[in-house]
Amino acid sequence: MKYMLNKNHNQASLLDVTGEQWICCSTLVMAAWLSQTLVQRNGIRLLPCTVAAARLCYRGAGSASSAHSALQDKPRTVEDLPHISFLELIYRMVFQGFYSRLHELQIYNKKRYGPIYRDGLKSVSVNTPKLLEEIMRNDEKFPCRGDMSLWKEYRDMRGFGYGPFTEEGKRWYNLRVVLNKRMLHPRDSAQYGGVINDVVTDFTNRIYYLRQCSPTGDLVTNVANELYHFSLEGIASILFETRLGCLEKEIPAGTQDFINAIAEMFSNSMAVVVMPKWSRNLLPYWRRYIAGWEGIFSFAKVLIDKKIEVIQQRVDTNQSMEGEYLTYLLSNTQMSTKDVYGSITELLLAGVDTTSNTLTWTLYLLSKHPQIQHRLYEEVSTFSPTDQNPSSEVVTRMPYLKAVIKEALRMYPVVPLNARLISEKNITVGGYQFPEKTAFTFNHYAISHDEDTFSEPFTFKPERWLRDGRERPNPFGSIPFGYGVRGCVGRRIAELEMYLVLFRIIRLFEIKPDPTLGELRCINRTVLIPDKPLTLYFVDRG
Ligand code: HEM
> What is the average pLDDT across 239-261?
89
> What is the average pLDDT across 237-265?
90
Which residue has a Cα nearest atom 18 of ligand 1? 488
Contact yes or no for 534/224 (Cβ under 8 A): yes
DSSP secondary structure letters along 107-157: HHHHHHH-SEEE-SSSSEEE-SHHHHHHHHTT--SS------HHHHHHHHH
- pLDDT of 45-96, one tens digit each? 333 332 222 233 333 344 434 444 444 567 799 999 999 988 898 889 888 8
Contact yes or no for 474/332 (Cβ under 8 A): no
For the chain, the 3-state helix, strand and coil shares in percent, each to the nearest 5, are 50, 10, 40
Examine the pLDDT at 278 and tell me if it is beyond 90. Answer: yes
- Does residue 350 have its Cβ closer than 6 Å to ligand 1? yes
Distance CA 201, CA 197 (A): 6
Q: What per-residue confidence (pLDDT) applies to 431?
A: 94
Q: What angle do CA 110, 521, 363 make, to 5 degrees?
A: 115
Q: What per-residue confidence (pLDDT) applies to 4?
A: 33
- pLDDT of 374-398, one tens digit each? 999 999 999 888 789 999 999 999 9
Examine the pLDDT at 9 and tell me if it is beyond 60. Answer: no
- As a whole number of Å, the CA-based R_g of the chain is 24
pTM: 0.87
- pLDDT of 160-173, one tens digit each? 999 999 999 999 99
- Does residue 89 have its Cβ closer than 6 Å to ligand 1? no
Residue in 354, 359, 414 to alter for ligand 1 test, most ligand atoms within 8 A of Cβ: 354
Q: State the distance from the centre of ligand 1 to the C-alpha of 487, rounded, in angstroms.
A: 7
- Does residue 370 have its Cβ closer than 6 Å to ligand 1? no
Most confident of 12-16, 236-240, 314-318, 452-456: 452-456
Band of residue 323 on the pLDDT scale cut at 50, 70, 90: low
- Does residue 444 have its Cβ closer than 6 Å to ligand 1? no
For the chain, give the number of residues.
542
Q: What per-residue confidence (pLDDT) applies to 314?
A: 78
Q: What is the mean pLDDT of the chain?
A: 84
Q: Which amino acid is at 140?
A: E
Q: How far is CA 138 from the centre of its chain?
A: 22
Q: State the distance from the centre of ligand 1 to the C-alpha of 180, rounded, in angstroms.
A: 12
Examine the pLDDT at 10 and tell me if it is beyond 70. Answer: no
Examine the pLDDT at 325 and tell me if it is beyond 90. Answer: no
- Does residue 348 have its Cβ closer than 6 Å to ligand 1? no
Which residue has a Cα nearest atom 19 of ligand 1? 488
Atom of ligand 1 nearest to the CA of 497: 27
> What is the average pLDDT across 354-380?
97
Q: What angle do CA 394, 538, 221 make, to 5 degrees?
A: 120
Q: State the distance from the centre of ligand 1 to the C-alpha of 490, rounded, in angstroms.
A: 6
Burial call 272-291: b when 16+ CB within 10 Å, e when fewer: bbbbeeeebeeeebbeebbb
Q: What per-residue confidence (pLDDT) applies to 24?
A: 29
- Does residue 196 have its Cβ closer than 6 Å to ligand 1? no
- pLDDT of 396-419, one tens digit each? 999 999 999 999 999 999 999 999
Band of residue 285 on the pLDDT scale cut at 50, 70, 90: very high
Which residue has a Cα nearest atom 37 of ligand 1? 165
DSSP secondary structure letters along 144-179: -----HHHHHHHHHHT----TTT--HHHHHHHHHHH
Q: Tell whether the torsion through CA atoms of 243, 248, 250 and 255 is positive or negative.
A: positive
Q: Which amino acid is at 312?
A: Q
Distance CA 481, CA 59 (A): 34
Examine the pLDDT at 15 and tell me if it is beyond 60. Answer: no
Which residue has a Cα nearest atom 7 of ligand 1? 481
Q: What per-residue confidence (pLDDT) applies to 16?
A: 28
Cβ-proximal residues to 531 (8 Å cutoff; 6+ apart), any chain: 520, 521, 522, 523
CA distances from 521 to 145, 221, 492, 495 (A): 28, 17, 28, 24
- pLDDT of 175-221, one tens digit each? 999 889 888 888 888 889 999 999 999 999 999 999 999 999 999 99
